[in-house]
Amino acid sequence: MTRGEPARDALDAIDEAVARISDAEVDRHLAKILRQGGFRGSSVPFTEAPLRLKGSPGGHGPARLTRLGGWAAPLAAAAAVVLVVICAAAGSWLFRSLSSHPGDSGAPAQGTPAVSFTGAPAGPYAGVPAYYVEIANPSLAVVRATATGATLARIATRTPFAGVTGGADDRTFVLDAQRSIMGPAVRWPGHPAFYLLRLSSSGAEESFTRLNIAAPPDGAAVAGMALSPDSSKLAVALDTGTPGAPGLLEIRVYTLATGTFRTWSAHGLADSQAPEGFTGSGVDASESISWAADSRTLAFDVMNQNFTRGVRLLDTAASGSDLIADSRLAVTERDQGGREALTSKDHVSQCVTNSIISADGSAIVCGYTTDIAGRDTTTGFIRYSASTGKQTAVLGVHEFKGQAGGDISLYWVNSTGNILIGGVLTPGGIRVGVINGEKFTPLPGITHLGAAAW
């Protein structure tokens, strides 16, 4: 398209170009993606797609060189070589502490209840919950042992599971189930339903019952869910929007013993602080809202219309129902001008996962991904002080040589925010493991991981 071209022509040209994509071409791309992901197609023959010579339509390197300008060609070509090399190169996990603050050393705060895990694994997995629940597919949730990856229980459902969250006792989990309809936009007909899963000390299914709590509105989608550490309350972030009419953020906190609930919501689009229904990506399988150990302080991610992003803390025991006015901004990850709150030598800029507050309330942790001087890619986890909002540590940095996709997920943090369970997408596939300071210990038996809770 050239400048000055009538607007209709440009979009029509796109529509026409897309309409020319044949089913066979789509299948070739699908086959290629499946192969790259280590899967075989169920109905697509695994024949190699026609080889595209460099510089041909749809090719990679030379097209980029053209866009970069001829003088940049050697550099970009070198970068392309690096991209190839990193497919076989392993990254390295490093630990980099920023200026530490008193009280952020990882020591539990006084008066903070210790979280113990009966039967918790020892060795490299010491200090992390013994079990986790993974939504293996929409029809099946699986209980696994953290240290071995062994399957301990399977919970099947006819209404698809959508999310899962766990209490601090490593025995109590809540799953939500709701049908979705794929179309131009995803719709969520009906009401989300919540189920309480209790495990025995050996990780076997002890009970699985539907929670008797008021259902969210018809068509609402659960954008985030967090079971309080004492398993007495369930916080649910709801997206009540419909296709074409995005809803505002609403958080409900259910008291499970009584079924009663309180609601906090944003004002509306006229409010510059209104998060417009955003609670983190909600799709990276991470926790999107999280509780401190007091089971009253709830942390949630917000991004307002100025694209300021941060983490707010809501005292659910205090009065009020305004999600913004009745909460306080604890961490600003990115300000209105698009600048990061603190730039380290690694150019750590912002969180790309949802954030989790540590049980002692002292730290807020999230995952990030960025580049070092445009040459190397790093992914890792940032720890912020919940009291000062400052970064206090960059944990478990995974460093790639060259630029690589840096997808990252954060599933769990310990009581002080210095031991994490997270996942990083590397050129060789997803790596999920325990990050304890400078050490990354992969969790066995995980080849891909969607929604999961420890």
Position 374, amino acid: G
234 and 225 in contact (C-beta within 8 Å)? yes
**Alpha-carbon gap, residue 106 to 103, rounded angstroms:** 7
Q: Is 89 in the site for other proteins (CB under 8 A)?
A: no
**Alpha-carbon gap, residue 236 to 164, rounded angstroms:** 11
CB atoms within 10 A of CB 418: 22
Query: Between 320 and 442, whose beta carbon lies closer to other proteins?
Result: 442
**Alpha-carbon gap, residue 409 to 403, rounded angstroms:** 19
Q: Is 329 in the site for other proteins (CB under 8 A)?
A: no
Q: Which of residues 122-141 bind other proteins (CB under 8 A)?
A: 135, 137-139
Query: Between 102 and 184, whose beta carbon lies closer to other proteins?
Result: 184
Q: Is 425 in the site for other proteins (CB under 8 A)?
A: yes
Q: Is 92 in the site for other proteins (CB under 8 A)?
A: no
Q: Using CA of residue 107, residue 288, residue 300, residue 178, what is the dihedral sign?
A: negative
| Count, residues in the chain | 454
Shortest gap between Cβ of 250 and other proteins (angstroms)? 15
Q: Is 240 in the site for other proteins (CB under 8 A)?
A: no
Shortest gap between Cβ of 325 and other proteins (angstroms)? 24
Query: Between 117 and 161, whose beta carbon lies closer to other proteins?
Result: 161
- Sole binder of other proteins in the list 114, 257, 318, 373 (CB under 8 A): 373
**Alpha-carbon gap, residue 441 to 452, rounded angstroms:** 18
Query: Between 171 and 398, whose beta carbon lies closer to other proteins?
Result: 398
**Alpha-carbon gap, residue 439 to 397, rounded angstroms:** 10
Shortest gap between Cβ of 41 and other proteins (angstroms)? 6
Shortest gap between Cβ of 351 and other proteins (angstroms)? 9
Q: Is 447 in the site for other proteins (CB under 8 A)?
A: yes
Query: Between 36 and 387, whose beta carbon lies closer to other proteins?
Result: 36
Reduced to 3 states, what is the DSSP secondary structure of residue 72? helix
Per the DSSP assignment, residues forming a β-bridge with 212 are: none
Stretch touching other proteins by CB under 8 A, among 39-47, 96-104, 227-235, 359-367: 39-47
434 and 443 in contact (C-beta within 8 Å)? yes
- Sole binder of other proteins in the list 81, 218, 405, 439 (CB under 8 A): 405
Shortest gap between Cβ of 407 and other proteins (angstroms)? 5
Q: Is 1 in the site for other proteins (CB under 8 A)?
A: yes
311 Rama class: left (phi>0) / alpha (psi -120 to 50) / beta: beta
- Which residue from 404, 411, 405 is spatially nearest to 433, judged by alpha carbons? 411
**Alpha-carbon gap, residue 46 to 383, rounded angstroms:** 44
Q: What is the spatial order of strands in the sheet that 376-385 belongs to?
A: 92-97, 391-400, 376-385, 363-372, 356-357
Interaction pattern, residues 283-312, with other proteins; x per rule: CB under 8 A: xxx---------------------x-x---
**Alpha-carbon gap, residue 264 to 316, rounded angstroms:** 9
Stretch touching other proteins by CB under 8 A, among 166-174, 312-320, 323-331, 421-429: 421-429
How would DSSP label each residue in 121-165? Answer: --GGGTTS-SEEEEEEETTEEEEEETTT--EEEEEE-SSPEEEEE
- Sole binder of other proteins in the list 112, 297, 316, 369 (CB under 8 A): 369
Query: Between 113 and 444, whose beta carbon lies closer to other proteins?
Result: 444
Q: Is 269 in the site for other proteins (CB under 8 A)?
A: no
Stretch touching other proteins by CB under 8 A, among 144-152, 209-217, 320-328, 403-411: 403-411
- Sole binder of other proteins in the list 222, 235, 397, 453 (CB under 8 A): 222
Q: Is 374 in the site for other proteins (CB under 8 A)?
A: yes
Q: Which of residues 42-81 bind other proteins (CB under 8 A)?
A: 42-44, 46, 57-60, 63-64, 67-69, 71-72, 75-76, 79
Interaction pattern, residues 171-200, with other proteins; x per rule: CB under 8 A: -------x-x-xxxxx-x------------
Strands (E), 171-266: 172-177, 193-199, 205-210, 221-227, 233-239, 249-255, 261-265
**Alpha-carbon gap, residue 333 to 302, rounded angstroms:** 10
Stretch touching other proteins by CB under 8 A, among 34-42, 144-152, 292-300, 381-389: 34-42
Tokens of 70: 């001829």
Q: Tokens 């390295």 — which residue?
A: 92
- Sole binder of other proteins in the list 231, 265, 327, 370 (CB under 8 A): 370
